[in-house]
């Protein structure tokens, strides 16, 4: 049969410009001759319909039951004999994308419950959509006030120092930089500030200059002190607290303790009240010659299977498309050269995802939004292009809370920087989640200005982790890795792009074609492999 399997049916519908509800696809797949049913459904569809809904299919099947294998072959209901293949299709007819509420059971032509027979795969999602909840916080789309002028840098740093500093001020007896300078030599002093400079001295100690609203003050970390080990974790512009003893001339302080804003060790993450899952992916790179279409097809197919019935959310952490002109000579590896066409193709790929899965996405550095972070969500034109599945499109970073579980989504460009600056054992491409731990410790997704990561100063610092997320989701480095840091689940989600020439040249082996699936009720992770 040419149209066996829901994903093929979805593909056929999308190639003709239609999106489809999952339930509708399942019903078509359940008929004796899905190809004929599909044609009949399309014939029957109202002219203005863009989405094939379950009621379209049901109403056709009620009028022309001949094509409905489940009910016509044996009205007495032998379909139940089909055992595990027999799927109750009438309970979850939902459209996540519209939030429409529909009746939960349908009479058949013979008055009994609809049972589908011989369904190769697929069933409705596991739960009532009314049990779902999805909230967005920190989306700065449309809120950008930055002009890139000096005043913006002053306000963004002031905001950062104020908000991250407030997490440290209770822990140290702190004074402003200028006040410390006039304290008597030998006093105990404390300060909260941004890392302005880190230098090694001739004798191998470390000099860390902290800056606050009043000025700067130098702190000396002796090489044989326990804190010396933390110096190689420091990034410029992160917020820290120091405590120590002033030298005789009060021109410098010897560090006794160093504090990071950090996630409290006692942090207890929230969990969902029912068994429900989210698939976390990123770096799809549609439009690249290396985009792994077959792996994506398998992923979409899998989402239509009963095994995936609890997957009700799909989060995509940036790099939807390959983009154009992102890296030198990138055009030589493009499959689709027009940026809008890339998003059209991406939209087709989204349509393969069951219509009742909620999708949330943020942009990445390959996407057609400003490169500097925070990156606003896509503009109206791109939203229109990507509208078929009705995804929620928010800024990079943003926090999405799924049934009480907060997920901080950040594309991850700063991870390159963390990995470059920190020693291998603290952050590496092979263990991207460990680099994420560093960001959690700093309570900031991209601390360092003026480096590799481009930042746009705004009135407020959108890159701060004001609240501790339950899950931190990044991508960008194309490596799969996850683990827990002070009970926060950090996941870097791999990619859907095979190794590029650049990656070959620097010996990066991407983890392509994997989908980490998170149980929102336990925060356990399973990885599904599609490559």
- Nearer to Zn ion by Cβ, of 210 and 320: the residue is 320
277 binds, among ligand D5M, Fe ion, Zn ion, none (CB under 5 to 8 A by kind): none
Of residues 322-381, those binding Zn ion (CB under 5 A): 364-365
Among 73, 113, 232, 502, binds ligand D5M (CB under 6 A): 502
- Nearer to ligand D5M by Cβ, of 503 and 531: the residue is 503
Residue 30, number of CB atoms within 10 A of its CB: 29
**CA 7 to the chain's CA centroid:** 24
Which region holds residue 109: left if phi is over 0, alpha if psi is between -120 and 50, else beta?
A: alpha
Strand-pair partners of 423: none
Q: Does 477 bind ligand D5M (CB under 6 A)?
A: yes
Q: CA-CA distance, 473 to 77, in Å (whole number)?
A: 47
Min CB(309)–Fe ion separation in Å = 29
> Three-state secondary structure along 310-333?
CEEEEEEECCCECCCCCCCCHHHH
Q: Does 476 bind Zn ion (CB under 5 A)?
A: yes
Among 319, 356, 417, 431, binds Zn ion (CB under 5 A): 319
Q: Does 433 bind ligand D5M (CB under 6 A)?
A: no
340 binds, among Zn ion, Fe ion, ligand D5M, none (CB under 5 to 8 A by kind): none
Q: CA-CA distance, 130 to 425, in Å (whole number)?
A: 45
- Nearer to ligand D5M by Cβ, of 320 and 408: the residue is 320
Strand-pair partners of 286: 321
Min CB(250)–Fe ion separation in Å = 50
- Nearer to ligand D5M by Cβ, of 6 and 364: the residue is 364
Q: Does 283 bind Fe ion (CB under 5 A)?
A: yes
Min CB(322)–Zn ion separation in Å = 10
Q: Does 290 bind Fe ion (CB under 5 A)?
A: no
Q: Which two tokens stand for residue 152?
A: 């913006």
Span from 101-109, 120-128, 231-239, 473-481 in contact with ligand D5M (CB under 6 A): 473-481
- Nearer to ligand D5M by Cβ, of 155 and 499: the residue is 499
DSSP states along 149-210? SHHHHHHHHHHHHHHHHTTTTTTS----HHHHHTSPTT-EEEEEEEEEEEEE-TTS-EEEEE
Among 23, 238, 290, 319, binds ligand D5M (CB under 6 A): 319
DSSP states along 467-529? SPPSEEEE-SS--EEEEEETTEEEEEE-BSBPPPHHHHHTT----BSEEEEEETTT--EEEEE
Among 389, 476, 485, 512, binds ligand D5M (CB under 6 A): 476
Min CB(345)–ligand D5M separation in Å = 17
SS3 52: strand
Residues 443/164, Cβ–Cβ less than 8 Å: yes
**CA 177 to the chain's CA centroid:** 39
457 binds, among ligand D5M, Fe ion, Zn ion, none (CB under 5 to 8 A by kind): none
Of residues 309-338, those binding Fe ion (CB under 5 A): 319
Min CB(369)–Zn ion separation in Å = 13
Which region holds residue 276: left if phi is over 0, alpha if psi is between -120 and 50, else beta?
A: beta
- Give contact residues for ligand D5M (rule: CB under 6 A): 283, 319, 327, 365-366, 416, 476-478, 502-503, 508
- Give contact residues for Fe ion (rule: CB under 5 A): 283, 319
- Give contact residues for Zn ion (rule: CB under 5 A): 319, 364-365, 476
């Amino acid at each position: 049969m040419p149209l066996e399997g829901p994903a093929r049916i979805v593909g056929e519908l999308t190639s003709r410009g239609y999106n489809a509800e999952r339930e509708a696809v399942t019903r078509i797949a359940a008929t004796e001759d899905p190809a004929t049913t599909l044609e009949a459904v399309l014939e029957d569809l109202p002219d203005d319909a863009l989405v094939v809904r379950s009621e379209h299919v049901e109403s056709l099947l009620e009028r022309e039951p001949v094509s409905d294998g489940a009910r016509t072959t044996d009205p007495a209901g032998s379909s139940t004999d089909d055992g595990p293949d027999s799927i109750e299709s009438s309970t979850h007819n939902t459209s996540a994308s519209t939030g429409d509420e529909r009746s939960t059971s349908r009479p058949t032509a013979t008055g009994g419950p609809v049972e589908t027979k011989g369904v190769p795969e697929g069933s409705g999602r596991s739960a009532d959509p009314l049990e779902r909840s999805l909230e967005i916080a920190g989306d700065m789309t449309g809120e950008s006030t930055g002009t890139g002028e000096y005043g913006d840098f002053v306000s963004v740093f002031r905001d950062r120092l104020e908000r991250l500093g407030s997490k440290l001020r209770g822990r140290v007896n702190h004074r402003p930089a200028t006040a410390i300078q006039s304290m008597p030599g030998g006093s105990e002093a404390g300060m909260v500030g941004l890392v302005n400079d880190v230098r090694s001295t001739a004798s191998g100690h470390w000099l860390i200059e902290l800056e606050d609203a009043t000025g700067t003050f130098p702190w000396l970390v002796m090489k044989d002190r326990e804190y010396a080990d933390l110096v190689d974790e420091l990034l410029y512009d992160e917020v820290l607290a120091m405590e120590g003893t002033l030298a005789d001339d009060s021109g410098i302080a010897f560090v006794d303790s160093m504090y990071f804003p950090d996630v409290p060790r006692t942090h207890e993450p929230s969990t969902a009240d029912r068994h429900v899952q989210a698939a976390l992916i990123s770096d799809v790179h549609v439009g690249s010659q290396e985009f792994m279409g077959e792996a994506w097809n398998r992923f979409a197919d899998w989402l239509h299977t009963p095994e995936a019935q609890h997957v009700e959310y799909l989060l995509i952490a940036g790099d939807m498309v390959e983009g154009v002109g992102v890296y030198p000579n990138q055009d030589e590896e493009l499959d689709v050269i027009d940026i809008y066409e890339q998003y059209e193709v991406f939209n087709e790929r989204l349509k393969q995802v069951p219509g009742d899965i909620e999708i949330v996405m943020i942009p990445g550095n390959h996407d057609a939004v400003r490169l500097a972070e925070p990156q606003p969500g896509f503009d109206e034109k791109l939203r229109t292009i990507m509208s078929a599945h009705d995804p929620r499109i928010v800024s990079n970073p943003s926090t999405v809370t799924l049934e009480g579980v907060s997920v901080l989504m950040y594309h991850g460009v700063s991870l390159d920087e963390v990995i470059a600056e920190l020693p291998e054992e603290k952050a590496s491409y092979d263990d991207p989640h460990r680099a994420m731990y560093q960001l959690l410790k700093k309570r900031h997704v991209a601390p360092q200005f003026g480096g590799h990561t481009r930042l746009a100063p705004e009135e407020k610092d959108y890159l701060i982790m004001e609240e501790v997320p339950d899950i931190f989701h990044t991508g960008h480095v194309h490596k799969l890795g996850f683990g827990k840091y002070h009970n926060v689940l950090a996941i870097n989600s791999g990619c859907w792009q095979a190794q590029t020439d650049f990656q070959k040249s620097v010996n990066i082996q991407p983890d392509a074609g994997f989908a980490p699936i998170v149980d929102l009720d336990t925060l356990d992770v399973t990885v599904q492999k599609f490559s």
